Amino acid sequence: MANITQAYYKMFILDELADKKTAIHRINPIVKIMVTVIYLLMVVSYDKYDIIGLMPLFFYPVIIMSVGDIPFKPMLAGLAIAAPLVAGVGMFNPLLDRNIVSTMFGIGISAGMLSLLALLVKCSLTVLAALLLLATTGMNKIAAALQRLHIPQIFIMQLLLTYRYISVLMGEASRVYYAYNLRAPNQKGISSKIWGSLIGLLLLRTYDRASRLYQAMKLRGFENQFFGGCLDKLQKKDIMYLLGWTGFFIIVRFINIPMLLGVFVTGVIK
């Protein structure tokens, strides 16, 4: 689990990347959410064996990453979390679905192998799309967009407060944890004798923090209302962005371009 925590820490880098001011970053957050959702729907709607048709969809993350100036490295941590699960469930596909559908260079390729590969490709694409939404938009603007999309305010406050205090509480928890480990070397985890008190004390402090937080909010006139960040009005470029990508997704979804390309090229060679 410690690895995951490290991955989590690394992932907060994404929110910092959202401070950049590239063309992608300047697109209206609502539009970016819509494009992301359409993209995800497209990706998962492909036939379970269709890998080749999926290929043009790689354009989306690659273009966003290069125009948005987003490095690939922080994305890897996200892939590291999601991929093992998908691979774990999907690895039975080659074992159970053994129909040989094609032989290539003398090696038989089974339908199961194809579907596993397609699953992994889909996993990478969906993970990339989700992380890129955050890296080019940022938590604040996503929250503002959600508000515009009529997501209830209580939930948005929830989201922002949770996000805000993750770093504080992670700091607290890791200090307690290190303090424990410093005096209890060679242990694999917290001993069951103090499960309750260690977490419980942390929880009491959390509780007290929540009540101070509530006081701080009340002192500045909080009455259960929420003020989202401001969003710019929809501009022409936002509409273009939306229509452009949607059009592209639809075209590649219904016309298998790589296949046509391949047929064309092999035809020419012959």
Contact set for other proteins, span 64-93 (CB under 8 A): 65-67, 69, 77-79, 81-82, 85-86, 89-90, 92-93
For strands 107-110 and 100-104, give the pairing.
Answer: antiparallel
Chosen residue from 196, 235, 250, 251 binding other proteins by CB under 8 A: 196
The first and second tokens of residue 233, run together, are 């009005």
Chosen residue from 20, 26, 50, 253 binding other proteins by CB under 8 A: 50
Using alpha carbons, select from 69, 76, 50 the residue that is nearest to residue 128. 76
Return d(Cα 177, Cα 198) in angstroms, integer. 9
Q: CA angle 84-4-163, nearest 5°?
A: 120
Say whether residue 145 binds other proteins (CB under 8 A): no
Return d(Cα 179, Cα 84) in angstroms, integer. 32
Nearer to other proteins, 81 or 237 (CB): 81
Site for other proteins in 211-240 (CB under 8 A): 211-225, 227, 229-230
Say whether residue 265 binds other proteins (CB under 8 A): yes
Q: Provide the minimum distance between the beta carbon of 148 and other proteins in the complex, in angstroms, as a whole number.
A: 16
Binding mask 5-34 for other proteins (x = CB under 8 A): x-xx--xx-xx---x---------------
Beta pairing partners, 100: 110
Say whether residue 247 binds other proteins (CB under 8 A): no
Say whether residue 178 binds other proteins (CB under 8 A): no
Nearer to other proteins, 102 or 235 (CB): 102
Q: Provide the minimum distance between the beta carbon of 47 and other proteins in the complex, in angstroms, as a whole number.
A: 7
Say whether residue 155 binds other proteins (CB under 8 A): yes
Nearer to other proteins, 148 or 160 (CB): 160
Chosen residue from 164, 179, 232, 250 binding other proteins by CB under 8 A: 164
3-state DSSP assignment of residue 228: coil
What type of residue is 204?
L
Return d(Cα 2, Cα 8) in angstroms, integer. 10
Q: How far, in whole angstroms, is CA 46 from its chain's centroid?
A: 20
φ, ψ (nearest 5 deg) of residue 74: -65, -20
φ, ψ (nearest 5 deg) of residue 101: -100, -20
